[in-house]
Amino acid sequence: MNNRHSLTSLKIAVSLVAGLAAMVAAEAAYRGWLYFRYPQQPTFFVLNKVNQQLDREFGLSYIPNSDALNVYIVNGIPVSLLEMNANSLGNMGREPDSYDTAPLKILVFGDSFTANGHDGVTWTDLLQETLSKTLSKRVSVVNFGRDGYGILQIFDLAAAQVARLKPDLVIMAFISDDLTRPRFWLMSDEAKTRVFRFAMPPGEADLRRAKDNSQDSSLIDSRVTKEWFEGRRRNPTAADPLLPSLLARRTQLENRSHHSSRFNPYWSLTSFFLYNRLVYGYPIRGALQPRGRLDSRIAYDDFAADARFGNDIATLKSLGVPYAVVHFPIFAELEAGMYLLADQERSLLQSLTGLTGKQPIDLVQDATGVDDNRKLFMLPDNHASADGNRFYARSVGEALIQDGIVRY
């Protein structure tokens, strides 16, 4: 009897090992094919025009009544397009609805998840619609989302604008990645061909040095259009002079940089390429080249170490305007059913909660009724899709009402 069980267990073990070996071999063969079929290419952003400008106090601002398309190119493949439409106030999205006379005035601060929308509509625009309908009164929502912002700059800008605009409610929206983002300053070169990020407000000498360092810069090319992007997505093998030109420019910049390091996604051990191709249609999902940075992540694990942040909190407290902190989940967090935080991020989140006295609104639990989380994002880009913006607006609106933050 024992021999029979041992033999059966051995057969199962052999089958499992053989199956695992077959999977590894198939994965290796597929990666080899990808390597020769799609050689490693740069990962970067390209805009069709500059619609951002240097703000020496808050890092960046948007040019009023401007628009731009921002395409994310991953390993040489255009994977997502963000539409950046600034209104007359220099904020993203639609014009706010008669802010000064609205019965309920709301300011929203956040990163690119808040700043960028689809067809000119952001989640804050949808929130304005949702609350106005649900509360049966006019609600005016002003969007102060800024591309690339982290917690520090979200609160920097909020402290200044809340004092100026005196809203009835403030919303701070962030993703997990925002917890460790340092302050940055953004500036384009005079020829409007590239956009650079700086760890401090730049001077002329800083910009000259940045031109020789391609890290964390975006290219500008007026030939980028929505039609071009959609055409590339429909037929990626079609002849196209623009994409090779962009790749050549970016490669040249990286070759000139003394600090650039090219990460080869095909060596990644964090993603199963064959599975990704079969299930998601995109093989290197989860193995993307990280964006280079001129400014590293913050070094501390407690926001109390930042004097300006402490002043921001004190200012908001003195103004007496209620505010809510909302933690937006990205795709992987919705799939996991929890926020995925590194130790430093977890410590910073705890300090954020302690310093503000605000428990962040958890949107992961609100996604239980979503039939497919993939529909909420522009994978492999984690920015929200149009469906994702609707999800964020609905979830935030429901949370504000259920928690009694806004009332009928």
Give the tens place of pLDDT for each residue, 109-129. Answer: 999 999 988 888 999 999 999
Distance CA 18, CA 28 (A): 15
Q: How confident is the model at residue 35 (pLDDT cuts 50, 70, 90)?
A: low
Q: Which pLDDT score, from 0 to 100, does residue 292 have?
A: 39
- Minimum mean pLDDT among 43-57, 203-217, 351-365: which range? 203-217
Same domain for 330 and 240, yes or no, is no
- Contacts by residues 337-344 (CB-CB < 8 Å, ≥ 24 positions apart): 337/364, 338/364, 339/176, 339/364, 340/176, 341/176, 341/179, 343/301, 344/179, 344/180, 344/297, 344/301
Mean pLDDT to the nearest integer, 46-72? 94
* pLDDT band (50, 70, 90) for residue 11: confident
- With respect to residue 175, please indicate whether it lies within any of the assigned structural domains: yes
Please compute the mean of the pLDDT values over residues 22-41 and round it to a whole number.
Answer: 75
Query: Do 73 and 126 share a domain, yes or no?
Result: no
| Residue 23: inside a domain | no
179 and 310 belong to one structural domain = yes
Q: Which residue has the higher pLDDT, 338 or 287?
A: 338
More confident residue, 15 or 200: 200
Rounded average pLDDT over 148-156: 97
Identify the pLDDT of residue 189: 83
Identify the domain boundary among 275, 294, 313. Answer: 294
- At 282, the pLDDT band (50, 70, 90 cuts) reads low
Q: Residues 75, 200: one domain? A: yes
Q: Does the pLDDT value for residue 20 go beyond 50?
A: yes
Same domain, 102 and 241: no
Report the distance separating Cα 235 and Cα 233, nearest Å: 6
Residue 224 has pLDDT above 90, yes or no: yes
What average pLDDT does this structure show over 147-173? 97
pLDDT value of position 340: 93
CA-to-CA dists, residue 255 to 75, 117, 147, 250, 316, angstroms: 16, 34, 27, 9, 46
- 163 or 15, which is more confident: 163
Please give the Cα distance from 186 to 148 (Å, whole number): 10
Per-residue pLDDT, averaged over 267-295, amounts to 61
Most confident of 15-24, 205-214, 386-395: 386-395
Average pLDDT for residues 49-60, to the nearest whole number?
A: 94
pLDDT attached to residue 293: 42
Judge whether residue 43 has pLDDT over 60.
yes
| 290 & 142 share domain | no
pLDDT, residue 267, reads: 66
Average pLDDT over residues 390-405: 93
Q: What is the mean pLDDT of residues 198-217?
A: 77
* Rounded CA separation 106/397 (Å): 12
pLDDT of residue 294: 44
CA-derived radius of gyration, the chain: 23
Let me know whether 266 and 310 are in one domain: no
Task: Express as a percent the part of the chain with pLDDT over 90.
Answer: 57
Write down the mean pLDDT value for the chain.
87
φ, ψ (nearest 5 deg) of residue 136: 60, 40
Is 394 within a domain? yes
Q: Is residue 69 part of a domain?
A: yes
| Residue 13 CB neighbours (<10 A) | 10
Which range in 153-157, 200-204, 246-250 is most confidently predicted, on average pLDDT?
Answer: 153-157
Which is more confidently placed, 407 or 282?
407
Q: State the average pLDDT over residues 382-403.
A: 94
180, 299: one domain = yes
Of 266, 294, 322, the position where a domain reaches its end is: 294
* Higher per-residue pLDDT: 211 or 76: 76
Give the C-alpha separation, 69 to 143, whole Å. 19
Average pLDDT over residues 331-342: 92
Same domain, 78 and 193: yes
Q: Is 27 inside a domain boundary?
A: no
Residue 1 lies in a domain: no
Q: What is the CATH number of the domain that holds 313?
A: 3.40.50.1110
| Range with top average pLDDT, 17-21, 36-40, 193-197 | 193-197
Domain count, the chain: 2
Domain range spanning residue 256? 38-57+65-82+188-294
Domain membership flag for residue 376? yes
Residues 306 and 288 in one domain: no
pLDDT of residue 258: 47
Residue 152 confidence (pLDDT)? 98
Q: What is the mean pLDDT of residues 401-405?
A: 90
Q: Are residues 73 and 97 in the same domain?
A: no
Q: Starting at the earlier edge strand, list the strands of the sheet with 77-85.
A: 77-85, 67-74, 44-47, 218-220, 194-198, 185-188
Q: Which of 235, 262, 294 represents a domain boundary (last residue)?
A: 294
What pLDDT is recorded for position 333? 93
Residue with tokens 């994965």: 27
- Over range 59-74, report the average pLDDT: 93
Enumerate the β-bridge partners of residue 67. 85
Q: Is residue 283 part of a domain?
A: yes
Instruction: Say what the pLDDT of residue 359 is.
Output: 95
Is the domain of 77 the same as that of 209? yes
Condensed to tens digits (0 to 9), the pLDDT of residues 337-390 reads 999 999 999 999 999 999 999 999 999 987 666 788 999 999 888 999 999 999
